[in-house]
Structure 1
């Protein structure tokens, strides 16, 4: 069990860096919303760029699943899962972080990714649809970036600052 805990903890931290790091890199590279312009020539999109984008977004999306599953595994292994998810006692702190992480995961997979596929041209969409999707992906990505701030605080406070909440 100690090996499983070590692997889950390592995976949780490593893939959290990938997931949250991608959010922050996106925030730094694109500090404000710039709408997709009408009249863009989609035929100029480079096949190599498309492959790199698919790989980047795939790693980012699947990192979120590893983080979420490994976090739940650690809570379950310790017997904390129920109290954390029900926000009971001292585990309410880490539980709130788990719920925020769940919202971020759902936002990524159910809002951001379906629109991003259209925006990036992975799924056929009209230019008007792609323009609409550009705004949704921007806002969805920013939401996850903002939610990561209290999430990281609650993750750290769950193990290193519970006295603040007692």
Structure 2
């Protein structure tokens, strides 16, 4: 394996992971508790709450999830570890668990959070009641990924730095 390509993959995975997971941590710090939106927050595009929602929706974190996940899989594949990691076989079980958690998190972003967020932001037509319902789902989806990032990071670190992988 080319050492420069490996280094580029590692840094790509690392930086994309920071952007992705950092977005969730930032959200927790900025909004530690759930504050439901009001119908007026969604019917008035100039309301401060709607503008805050719109400004937070920058899209970087969604694409960072794809980049981080893809770079991680490519690193495992390049080393010949991907099948054993996905099968949670032997010393590759920790990184395999991290891979499965990361896969679930990325799917959560793209197939739960984003479709609902599009309704909240009015990018996809929906009634105000539906948009309010979707705002709660996006909150819970984001918090789920934040909590899952803890074991994800543990298994990533344990696999290469914790002595669990041979």
Q: TM-score scaled to structure 2, two decimals?
A: 0.90
- Which string of whole-angstrom CA distances, capped at 9 and with x for unpartnered residues, describes residues 121-158 of structure 1? 22222100111001100100000000000000110001
- Which segments of 5 or more consecutive residues in structure 2 lack a partner in the other structure? none
Alpha-carbon shift at residue 38 of structure 1 (Å): 2.2
CA distance in 1, matches of 2:30, 2:54: 20
Alpha-carbon shift at residue 44 of structure 1 (Å): 2.0
CA distance in 2, matches of 1:49, 1:24: 17
- Which segments of 5 or more consecutive residues in structure 1 lack a partner in the other structure? none
Partner of residue 116, structure 2: 115
RMSD, matched Cα:
2.1
Indicate how the Cα distance of structure 1 residues 24 and 114 shifts in structure 2: closer, same or farther if over 3 A, else same: same
Alpha-carbon shift at residue 43 of structure 1 (Å): 3.6
- In the alignment, is the contact (CA less than 8 A) between 2:54 and 2:121 conserved in 1? no
Alpha-carbon shift at residue 120 of structure 1 (Å): 1.6
Partner of residue 29, structure 1: 30
Aligned pair count? 163
CA distance in 1, matches of 2:149, 2:77: 22
CA distance in 2, matches of 1:64, 1:43: 28
